[in-house]
């Protein structure tokens, strides 16, 4: 080998150097030999370079030949919290799909962190978009949770085959915008007595059309305790099935919770469908998965009238309604009066797993609400219910 010849020639000339020069020369020559023959894990420079290239090629294959020159993963410039977000300026030639999650107090809860990991990993695993499409993930967050989320998302979405962008919205800023809109309805749909400023965020979906930019016309709002079994892009296609007057797509509640909540109205109106199980009844809604047609919400005179404090109070009095589940209580109540505003999602898009009401007085009718035919696209582990591993 050339290195050995260099070493022999070098040793043949050692008589022309002083002793200390000889030592230095021999040390340098042996270092070169060691590098080529005894490198890390007995690999020389050429084989190590080859392994790096193979690893990079494998990574590119996992991302389905994505353009790695465009870094759109969180933790970079695409992940930020600010007044004017880059996502408002749609990239030329890219179609955006928007989804939003509440992401507050996650930094203080291992339970929420575990749920978030399940949701994001399953979304990345099953998500498929076209080359000219991008999923924009919105997170309503506090500062501590945002910092944690940015670190977690990089790993959780590493194997995503699609382009995505991450946007964090400051929870205090959104709450400030929401509070004047929903203050009047909080006393009807909140757990505590009176109106709480911090509680306003649980009504985000109700007024989303008023706080998001006009350019944003559709968004899907998702709970954190979900597990995807299908492509989230298919869920966006459900917008195309909305009837003319519908503004929101939402699945029915799969427990008799509203059979219980409307007990007084049902007693006074025994022939009413309110609170009865599907398919003929009106069991109410579950807000774990919601398709919000913001453009339709803005244009609907009826929907915006129903947000007025007087109308909320009138309906609450009519139905003797007192809930504690925020936005889904509001949607359930107005849905009893105006079914046309809602597009019922198939139960498989929000397969709720909670069985609390089965063991609390409604075991005889529970399966009438809980039964779900068809494929399961999204599991919803509400009330901390375990989600199947499949």
CATH of the domain at 314: 3.90.550.10
**56 in the same domain as 191:** no
pTM for this structure? 0.79
Q: What is the pLDDT of residues 132-184, one digit of tens each?
A: 999 999 999 999 999 999 999 999 999 999 999 999 999 999 999 999 999 98
**214 in the same domain as 149:** yes
Name the strand (E) or helix (H) holding 185. helix 171-189
**130 in the same domain as 57:** no
**161 in the same domain as 21:** no
Task: Return d(Cα 341, Cα 354) in angstroms, integer.
Answer: 26
Domain-located, residue 78: no
Domain-located, residue 42: yes
The confidence score (pLDDT) of residue 5 equals 42
The confidence score (pLDDT) of residue 199 equals 86
Task: Return d(Cα 353, Cα 369) in angstroms, integer.
Answer: 12
**244 in the same domain as 289:** yes
The confidence score (pLDDT) of residue 195 equals 62
* Residue 187 in tokens: 């006393």
Q: What is the pLDDT of residues 21-76, one digit of tens each?
A: 444 445 444 543 343 334 433 333 333 333 333 333 333 333 233 232 233 333 33
Q: Length of the chain in residues, anyone?
A: 390
Place of tokens 């022939």: 271
Q: What is the average pLDDT value for the chain, to the nearest integer?
A: 83
Task: Return d(Cα 96, Cα 333) in angstroms, integer.
Answer: 32
User: β-pairing, 285-293 with 248-252?
Assistant: antiparallel
Domain-located, residue 81: no
**95 in the same domain as 43:** no
**360 in the same domain as 273:** yes
Q: What are phi and psi of 30, to 5 degrees?
A: -70, -30
Number of structural domains the chain divides into: 2
**Of residues 54 and 347, more confidently modeled:** 347
pLDDT band at 191 (very low <50, low <70, confident <90, very high): confident
Cα–Cα distance list, 199 to 113, 178, 190 (Å): 21, 10, 8
Task: Return d(Cα 63, Cα 6) in angstroms, integer.
Answer: 46
* Residue 66 in tokens: 């994505």
Domain-located, residue 71: no
Of 335, 329, 251, nearest to 289 by C-alpha is 251
Minimum mean pLDDT range among 14-23, 75-84, 119-128, 294-303: 75-84
**113 in the same domain as 42:** no
CA 110 to chain CA mean position, Å = 17
Does position 196 have pLDDT exceeding 80, yes or no? no
Rounded mean pLDDT, 363-382? 97
Of 121, 347, 159, nearest to 253 by C-alpha is 347
Domain-located, residue 347: yes
* Residue 95 in tokens: 């179609």
**109 in the same domain as 47:** no
**91 in the same domain as 58:** no
Provide the domain limits for residue 278. Answer: 86-384
Domain-located, residue 218: yes
What is the signed CA dihedral for 229, 289, 293, 196, rounded to 10 degrees?
A: -150
Task: Return d(Cα 358, Cα 149) in angstroms, integer.
Answer: 35
Q: What is the pLDDT of residues 74-92, one digit of tens each?
A: 333 343 333 345 667 667 8
Of 342, 343, 355, 346, nearest to 377 by C-alpha is 346
Domain-located, residue 68: no
Minimum mean pLDDT range among 25-29, 50-54, 210-214, 278-282: 50-54
Task: Return d(Cα 190, Cα 204) in angstroms, integer.
Answer: 13
Cβ atoms of residues 315 and 323 within 8 Å: no
Name the strand (E) or helix (H) holding 221. strand 218-222
**294 in the same domain as 162:** yes
Domain-located, residue 338: yes
**125 in the same domain as 57:** no
Of 173, 191, 165, 160, nearest to 95 by C-alpha is 165
Of 195, 132, 141, nearest to 167 by C-alpha is 141
């Amino acid at each position: 080998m050339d290195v050995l010849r260099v070493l022999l020639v070098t040793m043949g000339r050692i008589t022309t150097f002083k002793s200390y020069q000889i030592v230095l020369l021999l040390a340098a020559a042996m270092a070169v030999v060691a590098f080529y023959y005894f490198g890390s894990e007995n690999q020389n420079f050429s084989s190590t370079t080859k392994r790096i290239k193979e690893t990079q090629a494998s990574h590119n294959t996992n991302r389905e030949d994505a353009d790695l020159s465009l870094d759109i993963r969180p933790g970079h410039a695409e992940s930020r919290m600010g007044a004017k977000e880059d996502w408002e300026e749609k990239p030329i030639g890219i179609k955006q799909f928007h989804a939003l999650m509440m992401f507050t107090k996650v930094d203080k809860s291992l339970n929420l962190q575990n749920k978030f990991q399940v949701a994001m990993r399953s979304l990345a695993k099953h998500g498929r978009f076209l080359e000219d499409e991008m999923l924009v993930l919105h997170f309503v967050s506090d500062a501590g949770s945002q910092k944690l989320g940015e670190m977690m998302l990089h790993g959780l979405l590493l194997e995503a085959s699609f382009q995505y962008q991450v946007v964090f919205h400051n929870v205090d800023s959104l709450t400030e915008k929401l509070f004047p809109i929903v203050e009047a309805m909080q006393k009807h749909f909140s757990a505590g007595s009176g109106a709480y400023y911090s509680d306003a965020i649980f009504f985000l979906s109700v007024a989303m059309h008023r706080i998001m930019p006009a350019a944003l016309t559709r968004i899907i709002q998702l709970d954190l305790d979900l597990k995807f079994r299908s492509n989230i892009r298919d869920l966006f296609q459900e917008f195309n099935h909305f009837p003319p007057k519908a503004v929101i797509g939402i699945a029915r509640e799969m427990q008799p919770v509203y059979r219980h909540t409307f007990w007084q109205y049902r007693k006074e109106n025994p022939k009413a469908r309110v609170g009865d199980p599907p398919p003929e009844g009106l069991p109410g809604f579950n807000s774990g998965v919601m398709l919000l047609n913001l453009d339709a919400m803005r244009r609907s005179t009826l929907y915006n009238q129903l947000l007025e404090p007087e109308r909320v109070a009138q309906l609450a009095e009519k139905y003797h309604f007192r809930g504690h589940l925020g936005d889904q209580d509001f949607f359930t109540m107005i849905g009893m009066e105006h079914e046309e505003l809602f597009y019922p999602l198939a139960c498989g898009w929000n397969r709720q797993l909670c069985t609390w009401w089965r063991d609390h007085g409604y075991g005889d009718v529970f399966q009438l609400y809980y039964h779900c035919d068809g494929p399961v696209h999204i599991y919803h582990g509400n009330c901390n219910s375990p989600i199947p591993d499949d």
